[in-house]
C-alpha cells in the first residue's frame, strides 16, 4: 500500500462532515458509514498494544461510478507530527490499512475520503474505445493536470504543466497516433504518480477515532496475590516487606510476573472486624487491610508492622530484578479513624442524626469502612485528592494498580483520573475488580481500566465456558474489555473448589492460564488447595486472611506449585497464549471435555483440551479445522503435549483423546506441521 509521511502543516482543508453540527458542504459526495475499531461511535478509545500492528477499517462509498480516494492519518494526541497512509479498497466498500503505534500512549486516527476526479478520469479513459470520446477525455485530463500543478510546486508543477500541454496538443492533432497512442500519452505512469501526490481534497469528509496503545503487559500477564502480613517464616508473627522479599524467589520460580499486594496502609481501630468477620475484635485481631486509615495515617502511608517506605522501595527493586512488578491494591474507602474523616467530613454521607454512613450492600454490612460521597459539593477537591493517591505510589515506582470495587465510585471520576494519569504515565496499568452487572463492568473498561475481572470463577460447565469466552473474544467488548481471570480470590472460594479435589484445582488452573492471556491466583491458598468455607453455602474462606494472620507450609509435597510453574513456562514460550483475539472452540463429542485453539500471525497454534470431570476418565473425538491451521488433509501432523511431554501423530480432521484426571486433567498441545519426510524419521515443526 502507498505510504507517505506528512507534517500537519501540509494537510489540506477538509469540508465539515454532514451531521457534525455545522452547515454541511452539499458538494461533499463521499460518505464514511463506519470506522473501526470504534467504541460507542467514538465516545471511548479502543485498546491496542504498542509495537503491534493496528488494523483500521472504514466503510466509504459515494454515489454513481466515480472513484474514491481514502487516506488515514494518525498521530499521538500530544504530538503535532502527522503520518498518512493510503487505505486499500476491499470488497463491499470497505477500506483498510494498518499502522503500528510505536510507544504506549493515546493516538488519534482520522480517515478522510473524497471523490477522486483524477482517478475517476484515469479509470474511465482506460476503458474508452471511440476516438471522439478519447479526444474529449484528453482535454479533461489536461485541465485536471493543470489543477494539480497549482497544488504542487517546483519541478512537479512543471512536469504536470508540460503533461497538460501534451494532452491538449494530442487532442488537437486527432487521429495520427491512433486511440492507443493517445491513451498512452494520457496514462503515462510516472506522471500519474506525480498527479496522485497532489489530490483535490476540497470536498473531502473525515471521521476520527482514538485508541489507547498499552504496553505488552496489559495484554499478557500472570498475577500472584499474597498478603504480606502472612509472609513471616514463623507462625504467629506479623509479616514484613523483608519477609515478602524472602518469598520473591518462590513467586519467580512459579513464573509469575506480577505480585499483587492487598492494601498496605494503616488499618483502622474503630469498629475493627475480628476473625471470620466477627463484629467484635479481640485485642490481638489485626483487622481487614481494606479498612484503611488510623492515627498512623491513610492511603499514602504504610502499616507500621509491615515496615517503612524505604522497605517498600527495596521490595519493588528486588522484585524487578527477578522480572516481577509489584501491583498495589487501591481501595477508596476509609476506616472511621482515617485522617480524611476528621479533616474532610464533607467527603462522606451523613445520616439524619449527623453520624457518617458506613458501607452496606444489604444484607452485608461493613461497619469498619466509610464510602466516599461522589455527590459531595466538594467533589473537585475529593477527585484531586484521590488522584494524588495514585500519583504518590507511582512516584514510589508502582506502575500496576488493582482497584477495589470501582463500580461503587463515579464513572466520570475514573474516566478523568485514568486519562490524566495515562497522559503523563502511559505505562500505568489499572485492573478493575468489579464483580457486578455486565454493562457496569463494560462501562468501567470503556472509561479507561486496562484490564477487568470476569465471571470466570462461576463459569464451570462446558456450555457456560464456551458461551462466555466466545462473548469476551468475539463480542463488541473485544476492542476495549481485556479479561483477567481468577479461579479464586480472598473473597471467593467457589463451591467447586470447596470439594478439595486436586483435579478440580488443576483443571481450573489450566483453564484460567490458557483461555485468557491475563490470569491470576490468590495464593498460597490456591496452590495449597485451601477449600474450607466459613459455613455451608458461603464463598468466604474459613479463617480468611482478610481478618487474621495465616501461616502457610510452602514445602508441602502436594502443592500445585510445579504444575503452576510448568503452565507459566508454557505461556511464556508460546505466543498464541499471549493474546485472546484468536480463541476458537473446537467441536468434541463429549460434554465433559472442552477443546479450544489459539493461534498467532506466524501460524503457530496451541490446542488445549481439558477434562471437566474431576472424578472419571473421559474420552472423545476432537474436530479441527485443518484449513485454518494450514494443515494438509493428506499428511500427518504432530501434537506435542507441553504439559506431559508426550507426542502424538494425528491425521485428518477427527482425532481421539482420553484424559484421566487422576494423572492429568488436560493436554496443552503444540500443533507441529510435517516439515520433512525421510525413510526412518519425520521432522515436525
Catalytic residue annotation: 404, 433
Q: How far is CA 118 from CA 5, 456, 511, in A?
A: 22, 55, 56
Whether the link from the prior residue into 376 is cis, omega within 30° of 0, is no
Closest C-alpha among 229, 226, 242, 243 to residue 286 = 229
Place of cell 462532515: 17
User: CA-to-CA distance for 15 and 29, rounded, in angstroms?
Assistant: 11
Rg over CA atoms, the chain:
31
Please give the DSSP secondary-structure letter assigned to residue 355: P
Give bridge partners of residue 98 from the DSSP assignment.
Answer: 55
User: CA-to-CA distance for 683 and 685, rounded, in angstroms?
Assistant: 7
The total of other beta-carbon atoms located within 10 Å of residue 663's CB is 9
In the chain, what is the greatest distance between 2 CA atoms, to the nearest angstrom?
Answer: 109
Closest C-alpha among 432, 374, 387, 382 to residue 405 = 432
Query: Which residues have C-beta within 8 Å of that of residue 664, sequence separation ≥ 6?
Result: 506, 643, 644
Please give the DSSP secondary-structure letter assigned to residue 575: G
Closest C-alpha among 594, 280, 304 to residue 467 = 594
User: CA-to-CA distance for 86 and 96, rounded, in angstroms?
Assistant: 9
Please count the CA atoms within 13 angstroms of the CA of 186 that sit on its side-chain side: 33
Burial degree of 254 (CB within 10 A; 0-12, 13-18, 19+): buried
Instruction: Tell how many helices (H) and how many strands (E) occur in the chain.
Output: 14, 32
CB-based contact 411:444 (threshold 8 Å)? yes
Burial degree of 679 (CB within 10 A; 0-12, 13-18, 19+): exposed
User: CA-to-CA distance for 601 and 53, rounded, in angstroms?
Assistant: 11
Q: What are phi and psi of 618, to 5 degrees?
A: -130, 145
Helix-helix angle 117-127:131-151, to 10 degrees: 160
Closest C-alpha among 135, 130, 133 to residue 173 = 135
Helix-helix angle 154-173:189-196, to 10 degrees: 130
C-alpha cell at 495: 463451591
What is the secondary structure of 480-531 as a DSSP string? T--BEE-S-BTTB--TTGGG--HHHHHHHHHHHHHH-SEEEEETTTTTTT--
CB-based contact 251:527 (threshold 8 Å)? no
User: CA-to-CA distance for 550 and 239, rounded, in angstroms?
Assistant: 10
Q: What are phi and psi of 669, to 5 degrees?
A: -90, 135
Helix-helix angle 131-151:154-173, to 10 degrees: 160
Amino acid at each position: 500500500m502507498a505510504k507517505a509521511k506528512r507534517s500537519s502543516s501540509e494537510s489540506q482543508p477538509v469540508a465539515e462532515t454532514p451531521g457534525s453540527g455545522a452547515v454541511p458542504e452539499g458538494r461533499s459526495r463521499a460518505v464514511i458509514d463506519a470506522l473501526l475499531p470504534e467504541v460507542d461511535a467514538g465516545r471511548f478509545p479502543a485498546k491496542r498494544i504498542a509495537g503491534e500492528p493496528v488494523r483500521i477499517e472504514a466503510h466509504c462509498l459515494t454515489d454513481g461510478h466515480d472513484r474514491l480516494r481514502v487516506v488515514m492519518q494518525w498521530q499521538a494526541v500530544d504530538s503535532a507530527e502527522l503520518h498518512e497512509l493510503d487505505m486499500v479498497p476491499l470488497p463491499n466498500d470497505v477500506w483498510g490499512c494498518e499502522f503500528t503505534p510505536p510507544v504506549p500512549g493515546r493516538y488519534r486516527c482520522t480517515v478522510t475520503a473524497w471523490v477522486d476526479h483524477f482517478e475517476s478520469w484515469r479509470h474511465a479513459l482506460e476503458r474508452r474505445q471511440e476516438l471522439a470520446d478519447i479526444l474529449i477525455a484528453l482535454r479533461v485530463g489536461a485541465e485536471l493536470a493543470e489543477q494539480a500543478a497549482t497544488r504542487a510546486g517546483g519541478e512537479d508543477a512543471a512536469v504536470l504543466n508540460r503533461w497538460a500541454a501534451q494532452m491538449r496538443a494530442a487532442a488537437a492533432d486527432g487521429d495520427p497516433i491512433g486511440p492507443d497512442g493517445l491513451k498512452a500519452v494520457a496514462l503515462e505512469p510516472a506522471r500519474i504518480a506525480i498527479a496522485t501526490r497532489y489530490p483535490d481534497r476540497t470536498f473531502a469528509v473525515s471521521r476520527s477515532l482514538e485508541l489507547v496503545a498499552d504496553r505488552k503487559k496489559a495484554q499478557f500477564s500472570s498475577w500472584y496475590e499474597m498478603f504480606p502480613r502472612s509472609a513471616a517464616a514463623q507462625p504467629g508473627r506479623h509479616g514484613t516487606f523483608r519477609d515478602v522479599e524472602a518469598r520473591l524467589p518462590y513467586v519467580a520460580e512459579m513464573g509469575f510476573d506480577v505480585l499483587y499486594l492487598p492494601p498496605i496502609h494503616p488499618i483502622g481501630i474503630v469498629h475493627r472486624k475480628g476473625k471470620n468477620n466477627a463484629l467484635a475484635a479481640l485485642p490481638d485481631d489485626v483487622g481487614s487491610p481494606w479498612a484503611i486509615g488510623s492515627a498512623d495515617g491513610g492511603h499514602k502511608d504504610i502499616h507500621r508492622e509491615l515496615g517503612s517506605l524505604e522497605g517498600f522501595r527495596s521490595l519493588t527493586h528486588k522484585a524487578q530484578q527477578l522480572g516481577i512488578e509489584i501491583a498495589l491494591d487501591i481501595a477508596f474507602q476509609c476506616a472511621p479513624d482515617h485522617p480524611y474523616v476528621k479533616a474532610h467530613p464533607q467527603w462522606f454521607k451523613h445520616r439524619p442524626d449527623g453520624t457518617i454512613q458506613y458501607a452496606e450492600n444489604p444484607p452485608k454490612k461493613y461497619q469498619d469502612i466509610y464510602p466516599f460521597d461522589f455527590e459531595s459539593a466538594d467533589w473537585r477537591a475529593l477527585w484531586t485528592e484521590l488522584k494524588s493517591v495514585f500519583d504518590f505510589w507511582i512516584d514510589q515506582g508502582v506502575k500496576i494498580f488493582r482497584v477495589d470495587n470501582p463500580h461503587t465510585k463515579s464513572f466520570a471520576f475514573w474516566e478523568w483520573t485514568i486519562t490524566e494519569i495515562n497522559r503523563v504515565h502511559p505505562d500505568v496499568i489499572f485492573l478493575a475488580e468489579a464483580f457486578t452487572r455486565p454493562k457496569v463492568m463494560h462501562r468501567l473498561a470503556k472509561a479507561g481500566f486496562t484490564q477487568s475481572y470476569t465471571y470466570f470463577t462461576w463459569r464451570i460447565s462446558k456450555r457456560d465456558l464456551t458461551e462466555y469466552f466466545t462473548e469476551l473474544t468475539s463480542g463488541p467488548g473485544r476492542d476495549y474489555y481485556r479479561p483477567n481471570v481468577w479461579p479464586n480470590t480472598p473473597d471467593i472460594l467457589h463451591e467447586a473448589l470447596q470439594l478439595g479435589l486436586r483435579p478440580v484445582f488443576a483443571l481450573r488452573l489450566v483453564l484460567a492460564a490458557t483461555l485468557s492471556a491475563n490470569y491470576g491466583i490468590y495464593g498460597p491458598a490456591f496452590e495449597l488447595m485451601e477449600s474450607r468455607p466459613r459455613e455451608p453455602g458461603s464463598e468466604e474462606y474459613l479463617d480468611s486472611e482478610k481478618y487474621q494472620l495465616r501461616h502457610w507450609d510452602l514445602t508441602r509435597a502436594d502443592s500445585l506449585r510445579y504444575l503452576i510453574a510448568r503452565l507459566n513456562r508454557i505461556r511464556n514460550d508460546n505466543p498464541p497464549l499471549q493474546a485472546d483475539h484468536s480463541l476458537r472452540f473446537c467441536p468434541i463429542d463429549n460434554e465433559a471435555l472442552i477443546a479450544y485453539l489459539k493461534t498467532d500471525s506466524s501460524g503457530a497454534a496451541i490446542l488445549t483440551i481439558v477434562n471437566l470431570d474431576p472424578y472419571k476418565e473421559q474420552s472423545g473425538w476432537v474436530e479441527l479445522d485443518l484449513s485454518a491451521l494450514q494443515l494438509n488433509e493428506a499428511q500427518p501432523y504432530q501434537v506435542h503435549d507441553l504439559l506431559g511431554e508426550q507426542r502424538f501423530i494425528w491425521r485428518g480432521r477427527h482425532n481421539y483423546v482420553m484424559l484421566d484426571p487422576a494423572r492429568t486433567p488436560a493436554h496443552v498441545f503444540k500443533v507441529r506441521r510435517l516439515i520433512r519426510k525421510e525413510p526412518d524419521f519425520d521432522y515436525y515443526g
